[in-house]
Amino acid sequence: MGRHVSLAIRLFLVACIAGSPLGAGLLTGVVAGGASTPAVADGSTFRTDPGSGAAVAGPGRATIPRTAAPGSTPGVAIAVERTASTTLSVTVTYEVPPSVRGLRVVIGDLPVEGTRGFDRCGSNRLCWDGSTAEPTLALRYDLRTRTRSYAGIVNDSMVFAPAPRIYTVWRTDDERRTAPLFAKGEYATYEVASERTVVANATLFHGPHAEYERTTGSTDFRLIVPDGTRLGPSRERLFDTLADAETALDVGGRNREVIAVALADTPGETKLGLAGATVGNAFWARAGASLSNTHSVWLHEYVHTRQRFADRSRAMEWFVEASAEYYAARLSHDLGLVNDLEYEWELKSRRVSASDDVLADPTTWERPNVPYRKGALVLAALDAEIRNRTEGDHSLEDVFRRLNRADGTLTYESFVTSVVAVSADPAMEQWLDRYVKSDATPRYDPYDSRERLPTAPRMDEVAALVPTSPLGFGVTTIGLALATMFTLSVLSTIGRTLQWLVEAIFDGLGWLADRLSGRRR
């Protein structure tokens, strides 16, 4: 009888423990912690209105609003023809209004193929002779002289090259004006008479292509897709992202027109294996490049179109690529293309790979990616520093905007002045000296007024971290094997400990049951 009473008391005590709040928490904690809701794939929106991203046609299309006074400004029509693998023939026809008394064209060292209504008036000039109101000149453009930089591309099917440096000088009774030939807004009218040609402010594209357009706010986005090229992101999503970036990036320097050229791959003529490059208000990018990562080449190149500090000292060369790289990551996060964890992981991981090179001294750079890696990290840390010191009222965008508005050359001193003014803290000069003018590397501690926790990674995000190279796969495999062995060892130890604990509990319960049943005194 005593034995049965003892067993009954043991079972009753175990049931009491399991039914207590402590026991319930232990039993249901695994379920609650494991039943997570998957995050939304991305925060982008898709526009379905019929006019979004519509294809546009052909030659002669007025691409941007004109700001020039038509009564005192000539009009321009340009035709481009590819006459050889590395040669373009550029034909320019002016429409000269009666108020213009004189007009000449500075052609540099470009060979002249023919003229009508122009005479030679110097080694590098053609002067209008007044015999016709529509004088014409034809020039030969050797692409090999202008595509040696990373920005120029020439292959069998297309050309993306810096535009030749040609200037128009004209005078009226009241004024004398000079404008680059490819600055479309400086002329009364501007027509491109070649179906295969796209003209940007400082760039020429020539080749068979499809063209799509989206106007957002004050910017006309034009997407050029060469024949046979397949986009990675959809046109709608790409246009949405660029339009959202145009609004979100509050640094000034907006363009009335931005031209994006999607290339199927990176031709061999480019240097450094780059995924894109920008000249003026036009850029090319790999067509298959993703939008949903912190290294979005589309956003990186778009940020370049918003930079207005073409003249800069050697000590500020790093800022061009560093600011484009940082804000590409920042925009990816702010537009919902990546989550908090991906964004912070990317920036914090840069400290591990950051070099000991000095940003302000390019001669110390062992690799050309120093501005992309260390430079972007320094700007991320600087942005957080400014936000922290101003309680979130100001950021690096305010500095960027001041630099865009400033006249003259961007120098390290003007950069420091802008940072100190925005942060209202003279101590920021010492901060910049430490991390820009020395080899020190800052820690990145993001400013977040909401103090939120990072969101959990999705399965597709985790899958994206799996290495694809043989070396990376081998290292990862070894690491996983070691981690598994360590985990099993820890679990084994925990199991033995739990077994001892359970046995001790039951022994204690047995002793208590025996005392209560009268078997133990």
Q: Could you read off the pLDDT of 183-225 as tens digits, one per residue?
A: 999 999 999 998 899 999 999 999 999 999 999 988 999 999 9
Q: Using pLDDT thresholds of 50, 70 and 90, give the confidence band for residue 43.
A: very low
DSSP 3-state assignment of 477? helix
pLDDT in tens, 324-341: 999 999 999 999 999 999
- b/e for 136-164, b at 16 or more Cβ within 10 A? bbbbebebeebbeeebbbbbeebbbbbbb
Which ranges constitute the DSSP H helices of 335-426?
340-353, 370, 376-389, 396-405, 412-423
Closest C-alpha to 200, from 150, 287, 254, 260:
260
List 92's β-bridge partners, or say none. 78, 137
Sequence-distant (6+) residues with CB within 8 A of 499 are none
Mean pLDDT of the chain: 81
pLDDT at 265: 66
Torsion of CA 350, 242, 283, 374, to 10 degrees: -10
pLDDT at 274: 73
List the structure tokens of 282: 């036009």
Least confident range of 110-119, 212-221, 335-344, 454-463: 454-463
pLDDT at 140: 97
Q: Using pLDDT thresholds of 50, 70 and 90, give the confidence band for residue 502.
A: low
- b/e for 193-205, b at 16 or more Cβ within 10 A? ebebbbbbbbbbb
Least confident range of 27-31, 86-90, 421-425: 27-31
pLDDT at 71: 79
Query: What's the DSSP call for residue 458?
Result: P
CA distance 19 to 70: 88
CA distance 491 to 485: 10
Q: Using pLDDT thresholds of 50, 70 and 90, give the confidence band for residue 483.
A: confident
pLDDT surpassing 70 at residue 159? yes
Contact between residue 360 and residue 312 where contact means Cβ atoms under 8 Å apart: no
pLDDT at 62: 39
Using a 10 angstrom Cβ sphere, with 0-12 exposed, 13-18 middle and 19 or more buried, the burial of residue 384 is: buried
DSSP run (H or E) holding 88: strand 87-95
